[in-house]
Amino acid sequence: MPKDLKIFEEKIGFHFNDAALLRQAFTHRSYVNEHRGEVPGHNERLEFLGDAVLELISTHFLYEKYPDQTEGDLTAYRASLVNAVTCAEVANEIGMNDYLLLSRGESKDSGRARSILLANAFEALVGAIYLDQGYDAARSFITQFLLPKIDEIVRQRLWQDSKSALQEKVQEVDSVTPSYEVLKETGPDHDKHFVVGVYAKKEQLAQGEGQSKQEAEQDAARAALEKKGW
């Protein structure tokens, strides 16, 4: 049985007029397939909407916060702020993992696979808040829970392109250029999920996941940098 979402509402300080919207934000497609008729739908449409809301609000925030930065730097900042890693981190911090509605198979996922599910649910939650209470409420939520992450991102230079950083390191150490290979591709065209491996001299350095090949490659490069301590 799903946990009481009123507890979650108290935690984030937002109370939904339409409780079904909040529940839908936590509902993965796999859960709907296993519980037909129990829930009205999954969270993919909300995720689609929430992604756009996140991008607009974060773009406006960065534009005002960093008036002297170039378009290229702002784009890199935004990519780091709204990517799956950061969104999953915030989702974990506000306790979303406890409320995800998943199939029995998806419930066993952990690590990066679970992070992707959390990031998607976070975007869906933003979409649900936007539909239920409007732009200002969505902006208030994002401002409270996500936007403060930018200070750490900039301080640690996490916005830098991971693939470029890894290539520089691998060439310095091994005198080769790292290569990327798609190991797994699942999902329908509108909701693809990729698993990519990054290699140097035929050795797999790490794996990454994402909703596009590019995102998965960046995730793999980031994982390789962490694993190597670079």
Catalytically annotated residues: 51, 123
* 100: amino acid identity, one letter: L
Place of tokens 């799903």: 2
Q: What is the 8-class DSSP label of residue 13?
A: T
Judge whether 148 and 122 are in contact, CB under 8 Å: no
Judge whether 209 and 194 are in contact, CB under 8 Å: yes
Helix pair angle (213-228, 162-174), 10° resolution:
50
Furthest C-alpha separation in the chain: 59
The runs of H, that is alpha helices, within the chain are: 5-12, 19-25, 29-34, 44-65, 71-82, 84-93, 104-107, 111-133, 135-145, 150-155, 162-174, 213-228
C-alpha distances in Å from residue 99, one per residue of 7, 32, 191: 10, 15, 22
d(CA 52, CA 20): 21
Judge whether 44 and 191 are in contact, CB under 8 Å: yes
d(CA 79, CA 59): 10
